[in-house]
Amino acid sequence: MRLVFAGTPETALPSLRALIDSPRHEVVAVLTRPDARAGRGRSLQPSPVAALAQEAGIEVLRPAKVSDPEFLAQLAALEPDCCPVVAYGALLPQAALDIPRHGWINLHFSLLPAWRGAAPVQHAVLHGDEITGAATFQIVKELDAGPVYGVVTEEIKATDTSGELLARLAISGAGLLAATLDGVEDGTLEARPQPLEGVSVAPKLTVEDAQVDWSAPAMRVDRLVRACTPNPGPWTTFRGQRVKLGPVRPATSARRLAPGELEVEKNTVLVGTGTHPVELGEVQPQGKRLMTAGEWARGVRVTTEDRLG
């Protein structure tokens, strides 16, 4: 099939590579978000998907709005049979959905209908799910509600951050997407409607969501920190300044500490929660480099009066 691939971040790269390498399909163009300013110089940088497409000699489409008539005419002129989508980052109007004869097929990183929305992996970690996965489905107007072609499952490990889990799903999901497109081309794969039960929504997590509440149970603190790693980045405050946090480790055998209370023993730094303490991993004070919790505690000379949050 002639494909126009839609995607933007690094998460989409395994799928794009799999389709470029596929002997059964031709990626005639990619659709991605416009170049964005990044780095210390704040210069315009292409998205990871745009960079890979340019490297492979594939045409790159970067419309400011997918509804622009000029873009829709460009897309129609490419005559795609199907448009696979992985984390493109913008809503698709019906006028665009109607162009490819096999529609737009999205790779979504959850077991639909669970965790429809922008942050399915983060919410799976945050809510303590033991199993998640990826699904391919036909895009319809309603958010992530289209009929499903196939799924793969993935165990969520007790120490997984959302970044680590998403990296695994991006790879297994790439194989699922390629197999789905093969089945669509063959006519051997039929999409099935999603169940009406079990629908949950996964809105984007904000910087405000990522602030640690030390009065919450240790399990909740652990999940929040892992869910927000690497984005939007978990944080707390110390002496009035923001401190970024790396993953923590529940310390069930330690003595109880008040929420936010610190206890420093050699290279170990414990913080009190609503239940048992957690052990800090890495921290990054405002304007400073990332360091171990022990280095940080020695540098700031933690006192018995100090608290996090």
Residues belonging to the binding site for (6S)-5,6,7,8-tetrahydrofolate are: 110-113
End-to-end CA distance of the chain: 54
Return the residue matching tokens 């790269």. Answer: 13
Question: How does DSSP classify residue 112?
Answer: T
**Beta sheet of 131-138, edge-to-edge order:** 59-61, 26-31, 2-7, 83-86, 104-108, 131-138, 148-155
Of 90, 93, 192, 196, nearest to 140 by C-alpha is 93
User: Dihedral (C-alpha) 75, 80, 81, 82: value to the nearest 10 degrees?
Assistant: -70
**Beta sheet of 278-279, edge-to-edge order:** 249-250, 278-279, 268-271, 262-265
Q: How far apart are CA 180 and CA 188, in angstroms?
A: 10
Which residues, 6+ apart, have CB-to-CB distance to 52 below 8 Å?
13, 16, 17
DSSP 31-75: E-PPPEEETTTTEEE--HHHHHHHHTT-EEE--S-TT-HHHHHHH
Q: How far apart are CA 248 and CA 253, in angstroms?
A: 15
Region of residue 276 (left: phi > 0; alpha: psi -120 to 50; beta: else): beta
Of 99, 111, 98, 188, nearest to 148 by C-alpha is 111
The distance of Cα 123 from the centroid of its chain, to the nearest Å, equals 10
Return the residue matching tokens 């490990």. Answer: 157
Annotated binding site: 110-113
Q: How far apart are CA 251 and CA 136, in angstroms?
A: 39
